[in-house]
Amino acid sequence: MEKNKYVCLIQPHTSFKLAKIQPALFDQFDSIGLLALASYLKSKGYIVEVLHLAKALRNGYTVEQVINKIKERKPVLFGIGNMWVHQSVGMLETAKLIRNIYGDIPIVIGGQHASFFAQDIVRGYFDIIDGVIVGEGEETLHELVRSVENTGKLDRDIAGYMTYDQDMNQVSFKPREVKLKLDDLPFMSHSVVWPKIKPAKGDIIPFAAALDTVRGGCPQQCAYCLEADDIGRLGRRKRDFHSPEYLVEQLKIYLKEGKTNILIQDSFYANGNKPIEKYVELVKKNNLKMDAMHFFIEPGYVNSDIFEVLESFPAKKVAVDYGIETGSEKVAKNMNRYHNMDKIYSDVEILGKTKTLSTAWWLISLPGETKEDVRLTEEAIKETTKMGVFTERVSQLLLFPQTDLYKNRHLYNINAYFHNYDDFKIFSTVERRENGIYSELVTHDMPYQTKEDTLRWLKELKKSTREATVKSPYYKQMTELGFELNDFDFF
């Protein structure tokens, strides 16, 4: 009898409550984590689909149609992604739905958010899920699928897989050291994603694709960040980068699939100018053209020569996200971030003169941040906007319990509200608001910045950002490049 080689991966919706409504955090992009898993399993001889439930439900599919799709073909295993904080309720709803359809098929969860809260998930939801893949998932998922193929059940001893024994009240987990070289991984394809959606006029989402450039965390040890050098490694002892040559081959596949809005949103910049320069050079050499290329840059890693290189990229629109976050050097130091504001202003002045859609983002409710520090951020927003680097968003910091800042919150008299997986589930149930103010998503307060202060100062910063933007000498140029002034982007 021929073995079943079908594996069903699922990108969940935010929640059934928001099935037809835009949540505070965006949920329509294809998860490159699931695409990477699908490509890896396909290279091992499996048939894989990624069911994008958020996309399906937002585009008119009913829950009944989703159920019929799940019933269409019985898989060896279901893998549900919980990459982002706002997918938590949707993940659990999906797991329950599958359990009601197939009581006997294993359900495993994976993704960054699931990895960080793996113990909470296996202890709290062992009745609907079998376990959690912790860290990078290619090898672990492959071994789990093989164990079901060969024995009919999941092997609880597979490295990187966490389970819970209710009778023993015991969590079982053996870490996996990930040694896979990124350039040895198969290329990703969006062809595995269901459903195929006909793009609405003006909608760029069906044309968007992200390049996976680095794994193993960010070299910066930002105290509040889940990508920080120690906790962001997710199984790797050291970071590994895709070569520019690999990225260009991946880009060719995306372009053939009609993906013409390309994003790099991870720390590809961490090796300095040279890999970025080589990537741009190879794209030109291969005569590749696209509608948009979006780069993410942090201060302190590249020199200002790179901005001219980015400007020369062969796309109709080149966007540069520049992560400044605060105008206060004191607060930047508290967060272990780059804090030379004179150098940042110097770089911004050069970046602002390029014909790129250059934006910065900013945070408040930061450690040690007083009203005076918020005023410095407001001044920095005005100054950078005047120089041609506009503000993409201003939002409050999210404090996660895995971070150094949470663990050392006593140093700044921080009072944290959110402590576990269930606390953060609220992100799955809050819809997007035009004013960008989400009082229920404030994760902490401080004696010198109460929750009320955070919300009031956030409103004031958004107002002054709007005023500075329309007054900027670069406003017309930026709107022609596609900049849209809004208040609602959370992050």
Of 272, 246, 228, 144, nearest to 406 (Cα)? Answer: 228
Per DSSP, what are the bridge partners of residue 359?
321, 390
Query: What percent of the chain lies above the pLDDT cut of 90?
Result: 91
State the pLDDT at residue 3: 84
- For residue 290, report the phi and psi dihedrals to the nearest 5 degrees: -150, 170
Domain ranges of the chain: 7-172, 198-481
State the pLDDT at residue 221: 85
Residues 88 and 338: their CA atoms lie apart, in Å, by 32
Q: Is 243 exposed, middle or buried (0-12, 13-18, 19+ CB in 10 A)?
A: middle
Q: What is the pLDDT of residues 449-487, one digit of tens each?
A: 999 999 999 999 999 999 999 999 999 999 999 998 876
Per DSSP, what are the bridge partners of residue 318?
293
Tokens of 291: 């509608």
| H or E stretch covering 163 | strand 161-165
Residues 168 and 315: their CA atoms lie apart, in Å, by 58
- Backbone dihedral region for residue 476 (phi beyond 0: left; psi -120 to 50: alpha; all else: beta): alpha
State the pLDDT at residue 395: 94
Confidence of residue 489 (pLDDT cuts 50, 70, 90): low
DSSP for 280-317 reads HHHHHHTT--EEEEEEEE-TTTS-THHHHHHHTSSEEE
Q: Is the pLDDT of residue 8 over 60?
A: yes
State the pLDDT at residue 262: 98
What average pLDDT does the segment 115-122 reach?
98
Q: What is the pLDDT of residues 312-336, one digit of tens each?
A: 999 999 999 999 999 999 999 999 9
Q: Where is average pLDDT lowest: 225-234, 311-320, 356-365, 379-388?
A: 225-234
Q: Is the pLDDT of residue 112 over 80?
A: yes
State the pLDDT at residue 491: 43
Contact indicator for 8, 70 with CB cutoff of 8 Å: yes
Q: Is the pLDDT of residue 106 over 60?
A: yes
| H or E stretch covering 274 | helix 273-285
Helix, strand, or coil (residue 386) = helix
Assigned fold of 7-172 = Rossmann fold (3.40.50)
At residue 100, what is the residue type?
A: N
- For residue 26, report the phi and psi dihedrals to the nearest 5 degrees: -65, 145
State the pLDDT at residue 488: 59
- Dump strand ranges (E) for 216-304: 240-241, 261-263, 290-297
Q: What is the pLDDT of residues 237-275, one digit of tens each?
A: 999 999 999 999 999 999 999 999 999 999 999 999 999
Q: What is the pLDDT of residues 138-189, one digit of tens each?
A: 999 999 999 999 999 999 999 999 999 988 899 999 999 999 999 999 999 9
Residues 100 and 118: their CA atoms lie apart, in Å, by 23
State the pLDDT at residue 50: 99
Q: What is the pLDDT of residues 367-405, one digit of tens each?
A: 999 999 999 999 999 999 999 999 999 999 999 999 999
Tell me the pTM. Answer: 0.96
Residues 213 and 202: their CA atoms lie apart, in Å, by 28
The β-bridge relationship of strands 415-416 and 444-445 is: antiparallel
Of 77, 67, 78, 69, nearest to 16 (Cα)? Answer: 67
Alpha helices in 361-450, H assignment, sequence order: 371-386, 404-407, 421-424
Confidence of residue 203 (pLDDT cuts 50, 70, 90): confident
Residues 438 and 455: their CA atoms lie apart, in Å, by 8
Confidence of residue 218 (pLDDT cuts 50, 70, 90): confident
Of 128, 120, 14, 130, nearest to 423 (Cα)? Answer: 120
CATH of 198-481, one of 1.20.1260.10, 3.50.50.60, 3.40.50.720, 3.80.30.20: 3.80.30.20
Q: Is the pLDDT of residue 229 over 90?
A: no
